[in-house]
Amino acid sequence: MAQLSHGGNTPLFDRLSLKGFVSTTGQSAEARLSDIEASIYKELQSLTLSRSRLSIEQFLKTTRLTVLDWGLPDLTGLSAERSEDRDLCARVVVRAIEAFEPRLSKPTVEIAAFRQGRDICRFSLAAELRLGTIRERLIFNLGIDGDAA
C-alpha cells in the first residue's frame, strides 16, 4: 500500500547544483539540513520572482492551484500605508507557500517593508520543515521583486 509523504528530499537538480555537495551517506544531519534549507530558499526566491496569471482574489479563492498558477499575483497596487494591504500581501504569500512548497508547513509571514528599491516588499517567513520524521523551524528573509515577469 502506498504511503502519503509529508515533505520530501532535496530535488536532484538542486543537490547537483549545490556547491560542495557530497553523498548523503557521508553527510552529517546538520549539513544535509543546510542543503535542504538552501534548496527551499532557492525555490522560494523563484516563487516570489514569478507572477501568477491569476488576480489576487482568484489566487486566494482557487481551492487547488496548479503549475499554471505558479508565482504570486500582481501586488503592485497594494499600499504600505494600509494595514489591510499588508495583511493581504501576507495572506497571498502564505497561500503560495502552502500550494507550491510541500516541504514547509505552518507558514507565517511578517511584512517588513514596502517599496524598497526594486522590491514591492520585504518579508520574513517562518515555517516548519517536514522531512520524514524531522521537524525543524526555519526562517527566511525574502523580497518580492517589482520587476518580476
Per-residue pLDDT tens over the stretch 20-67: 434 445 555 566 678 889 999 999 999 999 999 999 999 999 999 999
Structural domain that includes position 71: 29-145
Domain assignment present for 48: yes
**Considering its fold, how many domains does the chain have in total?**
1
With a cut of 90, say whether residue 146 has pLDDT above it.
no
Least confident of 66-75, 87-96, 114-123: 114-123
Domain presence at residue 5: no
What pLDDT is stored for residue 58 in this prediction? Answer: 97
For residue 58, give the CATH number of its domain: 3.10.450.40
Mean pLDDT of 4-23: 50
Q: Give domain status of residue 15, yes or no.
A: no
Average pLDDT over residues 89-110: 95
Catalogue the long-range contacts made by 68-75 (C-beta closer than 8 Å, 24 or more residues apart): 69/99, 70/100, 71/47, 71/96, 71/148, 72/47, 72/48, 72/96, 72/144, 75/120, 75/121, 75/144
Let me know if residue 2 belongs to a domain. no
Is residue 140 included in any domain, yes or no? yes
Name 6's Cβ contacts closer than 8 Å, sequence gap at least 6: 105, 130
Task: Tally Cβ neighbours within 10 Å of residue 96.
Answer: 24
108, pLDDT greater than 80 = yes
Give the type of residue at 114: F
List the grid coordinates of 14.
538542486
23, part of any domain: no
- Strand pairing partners for 119? 116, 145
| 38 belongs to a structural domain | yes
Rounded Cα distance, 140 and 138, in Å: 7
Confidence of residue 106 (pLDDT cuts 50, 70, 90): very high
